Amino acid sequence: MAPGREARELPIVSDEFAEMPIIDLELYIQGSESASPSDAAILECKKVAECFHRFGIILIKDPRVNMQDND
């Protein structure tokens, strides 16, 4: 390290990402079984668009995936 420069710890995840909502895929799955999407499913769609606009990524919670598979 160059003289006069102190090491500093950088956060792994910025505070901005802490605000990112998790998209609940279960609402999409339920909506695919009916003729029209529910208000909750439409809200999740809006969350997806907002996440891509603000962060460029989305976080998804899929009820079909076993949590042990994440490990």
3-state secondary structure string across the chain:
CCCCCCCCCCCCCCHHHHCCCEEEHHHHHHHHCCCCCCHHHHHHHHHHHHHHHHCCCCEEECCCCCHHHHC
Residue 10 located in a structural domain: no
The domain tally of the chain equals 1
Per-residue pLDDT band for 36 (boundaries 50, 70, 90) equals confident
Give yes or no for residue 48 having a pLDDT over 90.
yes
Question: Using CA atoms, how far apart are residues 35 and 31, in angstroms rounded to an integer?
Answer: 8
Mean pLDDT, all residues of the chain: 80
Give yes or no for residue 2 having a pLDDT over 70.
no
Residue 4 located in a structural domain: no
Residue 7 located in a structural domain: no
Is residue 20 within 8 Å of residue 59, measured between CB atoms?
yes
Residue 71 located in a structural domain: no
Domain that holds residue 44: 17-65
Per-residue pLDDT band for 8 (boundaries 50, 70, 90) equals low
